[in-house]
Structure 1
Amino acid sequence: MYRGRLPREELPMNTRDVVFPPGRRALYERNRYSPAVRANGFLFVSGQVGSREDGSPEPDFGQQVRLAFRNLNAILAEAGCTFDDVVDVTVFIVDPEKNFEKAWEIVPEFWGEAPHPTLTGIGVTWLYGFDFEIKVIARIPG
């Protein structure tokens, strides 16, 4: 059995199966990242914030959380998923002592039924002008 490295020209080409939500491709191309990538039956979604169409933050915290979930759901839908397919969630919250309970009052509007996905909540000091961000890993149906 050969255990060495293949010469560079024999390595498989690394391609990403990227999912873009409708109408937001320029935003991701400008910022040089993929909104989501399909790999091995899973969808890995970049952190979604409550950004308006022009990219600016929604100023009201509750509406910012709702908009982050709507932006997330647009990506999930484009990949043929729903939030029920999500298996892992990471949320980032600025000033979690003040904002965590406020966010968690809104989450049930989008979260779905038990059993719920795993969750990691991280308190941060800065999110590029936003106060809430959510990133997920989802199982792709079928």
Structure 2
Amino acid sequence: MATRDVVFPPGRQALYDRNRYSPAIRSNGLLFVSGQVGSREDGSPEPDLQAQVRRAFENLNAVLGAAGCTFEDVIDATVFIVDPAANFETIWQTASAYWGEAPHPTLTAVGVTWLYGFQFEIKVIARLPQAGQS
């Protein structure tokens, strides 16, 4: 098996090691980013929903940045929302500050019943800058 080309953002490797997953993997010109939640450095959730969404995007941006990417390089996003009927508008108002200008990435939103104490999670696939434009 080939060695995975793992990307770690600064200061969070212990969290990923403890939970046994990689934050992102480079492969064939793409960056596959694991779901990012609004966790503090110790892994605990931000209690306020808007703060949790902001921190999830900040955590995502840290992973993207460690690979030399920005949110502008994101081509596909999947979000997971606990109780989307109650939380979607609050989440989307907060997320829009990070989403950037059109054209936007593709998006799949999934309503879930449990996210390990979190209410929002985002995972993405991004184009690595050196892979060129397509």
Same fold (TM over 0.5): yes
TM-score range, shorter chain: over 0.9
Q: How does 1:1-142 map to 2 (within 5 A)?
A: 13-142=1-130
Shift of 1:14: 1.6
Shift of 1:49: 0.2
Q: Matched residue of 1:100: which SS?
A: helix
Greater displacement, 102-111 / 35-44 = 102-111
Shift of 1:54: 1.1
Residue by residue over 1:41-89, the C-alpha shift from the partner in whole angstroms, topping out at 9 and shown as x without a partner, is 0000000000011110000000000000000000000000000000000
Q: CA RMSD in A?
A: 0.6
- Structure of greater Rg: 1
The 1-side partners of 2:90 and 2:55 are apart by 14
Greater displacement, 100-109 / 74-83 = 100-109
Q: List alignment gaps of at least 5 residues for structure 1.
A: 1-12
Letter in structure 1 aligned against 2:113: T
TM-score by length of 1: 0.90
Count of residues in correspondence between the two structures = 130
Q: List alignment gaps of at least 5 residues for structure 2.
A: none
Q: Matched residue of 2:79: which SS?
A: strand
